[in-house]
């Protein structure tokens, strides 16, 4: 990747690595780029303060760098990152007042909710009841839901089948969280199989 820092500050478009939403625009010089690579936290050069600043250093809402790409001319960067909270200083998900969600990617949202339940149990939560019951109960629920999917599919109950598939996906996400496996890891396997 060839980046032309000789032209001065380079625009750095930050995109959520999971949802694909554009989160913000900042500027990088070589030092900001190097610091981002070293720390894994997205760092910019502030034009107003004339110094480096790591996004989240005061708010705690960091951008965890996953990948940096340059455009064909080497004068614009695309930073793919995972936000640890709202990106905008106003408290919005993005600096463009968009929700950082995509209904097609709701599995990621649900994955985060389930991970939060595991890390911060909520009394009365069905998810926490599953975690408390352990792997055998989680596996049993997956078997039950899969059986219900099959029954509705073969009996041509499409409406019921969709409901049962939703239940099955939820319980699979609980299993993945229990085993500390991410949806992204499973999708990587599916992607590698596609030829």
Q: What is the pLDDT of residue 78?
A: 98
Look at residues 28, 118, 42, 35 and name the one whose alpha carbon lies nearest to residue 87.
42
At 47, is the secondary structure helix, strand, or coil? Answer: coil
> Strand 22-28 relative to strand 10-16: parallel, antiparallel, unpaired?
antiparallel
Low-confidence ranges of the chain (pLDDT < 70): 103-104
Q: What is the pLDDT of residue 134?
A: 97
pLDDT digits (tens, 9 = 90+) for 137-151: 999 999 999 999 999
**Cβ proximity of 121 and 128 under 8 Å:** yes
Q: What is the pLDDT of residue 105?
A: 73
Look at residues 25, 24, 23, 30 and name the one whose alpha carbon lies nearest to residue 4.
30
Q: What is the pLDDT of residue 2?
A: 85
Tokens encoding 13 = 């478009």
Q: What is the pLDDT of residue 100?
A: 86
Q: Which domains does the chain have, with CATH numbers?
A: 5-83 (3.10.20.810), 103-193 (1.10.287.1080)
The single residue listed with the structure tokens 């809402």 is 61
Tokens encoding 33 = 């780029």
**Residue 178 and residue 163: Cα distance in Å, rounded?**
23
Q: What is the largest CA-CA distance in the chain?
A: 67
Look at residues 152, 151, 144, 191 and name the one whose alpha carbon lies nearest to residue 172.
144
Q: What is the pLDDT of residue 103?
A: 66
Q: How many residues does the chain have?
A: 195
> Strand 22-28 relative to strand 43-46: parallel, antiparallel, unpaired?
unpaired
**Residue 99 and residue 62: Cα distance in Å, rounded?**
17
Q: How much is the pTM?
A: 0.59
């Amino acid at each position: 990747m060839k980046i032309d820092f000789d032209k001065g500050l380079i625009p750095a478009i930050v995109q959520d690595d999971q949802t694909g939403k554009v989160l913000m625009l900042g500027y990088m010089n070589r030092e900001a780029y190097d610091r981002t690579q070293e720390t894994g936290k997205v760092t910019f050069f502030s034009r107003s303060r004339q110094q480096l600043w790591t996004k989240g250093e005061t708010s705690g809402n960091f951008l965890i760098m996953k990948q940096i790409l340059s455009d064909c001319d080497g004068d614009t960067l695309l930073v793919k990152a995972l936000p640890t909270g709202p990106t905008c200083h106003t408290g919005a998900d993005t600096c463009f007042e968009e929700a950082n969600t995509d209904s097609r990617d709701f599995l990621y949202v649900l994955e985060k909710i389930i991970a939060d339940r595991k890390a911060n149990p909520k009394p009365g939560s069905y998810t926490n009841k599953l975690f408390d019951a352990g792997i055998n109960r989680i596996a049993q629920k997956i078997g039950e839901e899969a059986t219900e999917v099959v029954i509705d599919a073969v009996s041509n109950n499409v409406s019921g089948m969709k409901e049962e598939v939703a239940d099955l996906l939820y319980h699979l996400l609980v299993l993945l969280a229990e085993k500390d496996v991410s949806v992204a890891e499973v999708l990587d396997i599916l992607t590698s199989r596609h030829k």
